[in-house]
Amino acid sequence: MRRISNSTQPVSRYPYYLWAARALPHVLFARATSKTCFGFGQMEPFFRDRIGIEFGGPSPIFTRTRLIPVYPISRRVDQCNFSKDVIWASTRESVVAEAASPSGLKDESYEFVLASHVLEHLANPLRALMEWKRILRLGGAVLVVVPHKAGTFDHRRPFSTFSHIEEDYRRNVTEADLTHLPEVLELHDLALDPGAGMMEQFRERCLMNASVRAMHHHVFSPDLLVHMFDYAGMDVLNVAVERPYHIIVLAQTLSPTVDRTQTKNPNILKADAEWRKKAPFLCEPNQTMPCSHLSFDDLFSSGRCLSQ
Ligand SMILES: [Zn+2]
């Protein structure tokens, strides 16, 4: 097992600055050209002039000139956070509720749901998808954005498995769950997370996770997300993987009478699916490589976790 770094050991920021320097040209180019994510044209009708709700927002990625400019084209986006005191709280119409159990929200009350970099912070992400489907009208869409580990401090951690995510759902795991704490403390790359401080500060923050919700419980691959939406009875319409670290998935609710064998999900999971060819990171079907045997420099130089 990898030894957890000493709590008083200084953390070198060199890897973070290197990462930022490598990512900056891509980010600046995307801003300068108002680049949208792969497949946004196909996604746009689900948001244009429609009313939705965002969990854990608002999020810059949904603003004008960013990868998924939903805010400028939608009629209204309500905001839902687990507390009214979150530092990113907005003045938009807001709701206070848990993302994975928003029981106060009525069935079939929205046309779309947004969640950017939220699902990895939830102990029970499958329950969240089920709840988000419940509050959507038939034909409505869920758009989730999660980090691809190859571009973040999670790069040493293994991808979570669907069987584990399903078990969390069956056990009705709550936000107090700390099952993944030992793995996070062992494999989190503090050098790529300047806001986390030294190991002791990071450990204390993780132990308070039920209050601060900063810990990444699970590590998602695009394929895992597709399997989760399939389990939730939704049809995945688009997958995009974008620098510096975004996995973007759009899924639509299905009528209970629709033949589930006719969904687009098997095509999305094919090894030659178009989205895989556009992805800047390795996104093979059933990818299980933990990357834990690679140093950060290896990640950039070998192309095993990051294509060049
Ligand atoms: Zn779990």
Going from the N-terminus, what domains does the chain have, and what CATH number goes with each?
Answer: 14-302 (3.40.50.150)
Q: What is the pLDDT of residues 167-225, one digit of tens each?
A: 999 999 998 999 999 999 999 999 898 888 889 999 999 999 988 888 999 999 999 99
pLDDT of residue 293: 39
- Evaluate whether 240 touches 278 at the Cβ level (below 8 Å): yes
* Residue 259 DSSP label: -
> In angstroms, what is the span from residue 98 Cα to ligand 1's centroid?
17
Task: Say how many C-beta atoms besides its own lie within 10 A of residue 86's C-beta.
Answer: 13
> In angstroms, what is the span from residue 62 Cα to ligand 1's centroid?
28
> In angstroms, what is the span from residue 157 Cα to ligand 1's centroid?
13
Q: What is the pTM of this model?
A: 0.87
> In angstroms, what is the span from residue 223 Cα to ligand 1's centroid?
17
Q: Low-confidence residues of the chain, pLDDT below 50?
A: 1-3, 289-308
pLDDT of residue 302: 38
Calculate the alpha carbon distances from 196 to 60, 146, 149 in Å: 21, 19, 17
> In angstroms, what is the span from residue 269 Cα to ligand 1's centroid?
23
> In angstroms, what is the span from residue 169 Cα to ligand 1's centroid?
9
> In angstroms, what is the span from residue 218 Cα to ligand 1's centroid?
6
pLDDT of residue 11: 75
pLDDT of residue 106: 93
- Evaluate whether 97 touches 36 at the Cβ level (below 8 Å): no
* Residue 271 DSSP label: T
Strand partners for 246: 147, 242
